[in-house]
Amino acid sequence: MINVGSMKLLKISAWLLAAILLIAAGPVMAQQAASDDGAEAVEVPAEAVEVPAEAVDQGQASPAAGQPTPAAPAAEEPDQAPPAGADDAAAPAGGAADEAEKDPACRVVRLNGTVQWRAGDKAPWQAAAEGTELATGSDIRTGRRAGCTLAFDQGSSMVELEALTIIRIGEFQRQPDGKVRTRLYLKLGSTKSIVEKTRMESDFAIITPQATMAVQGTDVIQTTHRPDFGTRIALSNSGRIGVTNNQTGRSRGLRPGDAITNQMLLAIENAQFNTAVPVFDLNGGLTQNEQYSILRGPQGFSGVGTQTGPGGGSLTGGSPTFGQQEFLLQQQQQPEEPSGTDDPAGDPESPGFEETGW
């Protein structure tokens, strides 16, 4: 019995060992292949590898790979091709030759620090100056502690680019009804926009990878997109803007002083825990119907019970009071206020950020 048991154990151990060695051999062999090749790393994501691969082509291999150390710094290289993911067919930006024939969409009216632009994906980056005119499809980027202001349509809309910002002018066209349609794609960084309503009707939107901000006419709107902290849009002075989450399609309107993140939650400021200020987000990030359903159903939630809704009564569970029901019904009967002129997320003519392949 002992012999049979130990034999079984030996067999199982042998199979386990074989499986482990097989798993272990994969990455090790891949690394060896990568180190032999010198240009291709296997497990590093494609985009991370792409730049070094180009550098190797230009004689910039690392000393570890057995290649000579580059004498010239990378700063002297010509502008490299766009990173992985750039697709010319999908991108709103065309070639440099096409861009030259287009009418200018905007003009640089003020700049400081390193500000560069290019006419399209394939065009080289060049330094911007005051008065530089940019056509549709142009990209603009700013360096550290740099910034610039772009004037669209004779100054009816102004966009201020802050430091470390990359933006593309996706669309700029005057429509038959006189409306000026502008679409900007914010890859990274922060912008402040002023869209004037009085001089001409405009259809202005800034599209980030996470959210779309559409505006008809208003004062300062700050749009920020950071890969780690996400998108944040704030309306400073006046007007009303609509913000749409690109993933969920959910929209919300912003009033002056409001700020919103890509989760479509309004930031409630000036609330202190030790004061009994009745502060609440009217719809709690939900639609009116969802909020109505929640208020109608019996709730097990036992949160703060002192806050009151606009019609009186508690917002923290139980059936809605008469005042709440009346208020919600009034809201349901009212036509929804337009959040911007169009819904860019649902507009077939306006490609989403992902579709640009930028």
Partner 1 sequence: MNRLLILTATMVIGFCSVGLGGCQVPPMRGETPAANDADFFMNLAYKDVASLGDGYRAVALLQKPGSTEVMPTAQARDLLVERNAVPRSWDAGGEKPLTKGELAYMICQSLEIKGGVTMRVFGPSQRYCLFEAAYQELMLGGATDQYVTGGELVSTIDRADRYLQNRQQGEELPAASLDAEQPPVAPVEEAVEGDD
CB of 351 to partner 1, least distance (A): 19
Residue 115 interacts with partner 1 (CB under 8 A)? yes
Residue 229 interacts with partner 1 (CB under 8 A)? yes
Listed ranges 27-35, 174-182, 236-244, 330-338: which one lies at the site for partner 1 (CB under 8 A): 27-35
Q: Please report the DSSP string for 38-71 in residue order.
A: SS--SSS-HHHHHHHHHHHHTT---GGGTPPPPS
Which residue number, 96 or 188, has a Cβ lying nearer to partner 1? 188
Listed ranges 45-53, 199-207, 315-323, 333-341: which one lies at the site for partner 1 (CB under 8 A): 45-53
Q: Specify whether the CB–CB gap between 193 and 155 falls below 8 A.
A: no
CA 344 to CA 57: how far, in whole Å? 41
Residue 1 interacts with partner 1 (CB under 8 A)? no
What H or E segment, with its residue span, contains residue 258? none
CA 337 to CA 344: how far, in whole Å? 16
CB of 29 to partner 1, least distance (A): 9
Q: How far is CA 279 from CA 54, 92, 203, 347, in A?
A: 55, 44, 33, 35
CA 70 to CA 50: how far, in whole Å? 18
CB of 121 to partner 1, least distance (A): 13
Query: CB under 8 Å to 19, separation ≥6 — which residues?
Result: none
Which residue number, 49 or 286, has a Cβ lying nearer to partner 1? 49
CA 354 to CA 18: how far, in whole Å? 44
Terminal C-alpha separation, the chain: 68
Residue 222 interacts with partner 1 (CB under 8 A)? no
SS3 98: helix
Residue 3 interacts with partner 1 (CB under 8 A)? no
Residue 129 interacts with partner 1 (CB under 8 A)? no
State the binding string over 283-322 for partner 1 (x if CB under 8 A, else -).
----------------------------------------
Residue 164 interacts with partner 1 (CB under 8 A)? yes
**Residue type, position 19, single letter:** A
Residue 116 interacts with partner 1 (CB under 8 A)? yes
Which residue number, 27 or 278, has a Cβ lying nearer to partner 1? 27
Exactly one of 132, 136, 138, 142 binds partner 1 (CB under 8 A); that residue is 142
Q: Kindly tell me the burial class for residue 1, based on how many C-beta atoms sit within 10 Å of its own C-beta (0-12, 13-18, 19 or more).
A: exposed
Q: Of residues 84-113, which lie at the interface with partner 1 (CB under 8 A)?
A: 84-85, 113
Residue 259 interacts with partner 1 (CB under 8 A)? no
Q: Please report the DSSP string for 133-194 in residue order.
A: EEETT-EEEE-TT-EEEEEETTTTEEEEE-SS-EEEEEEEEE-TTSPEEEEEEEEEEEEEEE
Residue 187 interacts with partner 1 (CB under 8 A)? yes
Count residues near partner 1 (CB under 8 A): 71
Residue 49 interacts with partner 1 (CB under 8 A)? yes
Exactly one of 38, 256, 285, 317 binds partner 1 (CB under 8 A); that residue is 38
Residue 71 interacts with partner 1 (CB under 8 A)? no
CB of 135 to partner 1, least distance (A): 20
Q: Specify whether the CB–CB gap between 256 and 225 falls below 8 A.
A: no
Which residue number, 45 or 68, has a Cβ lying nearer to partner 1? 45
Residue 346 interacts with partner 1 (CB under 8 A)? no
Q: Of residues 7-26, which lie at the interface with partner 1 (CB under 8 A)?
A: 9-10, 13-14, 16-17, 20-21, 23-26
Q: Specify whether the CB–CB gap between 148 and 118 falls below 8 A.
A: no
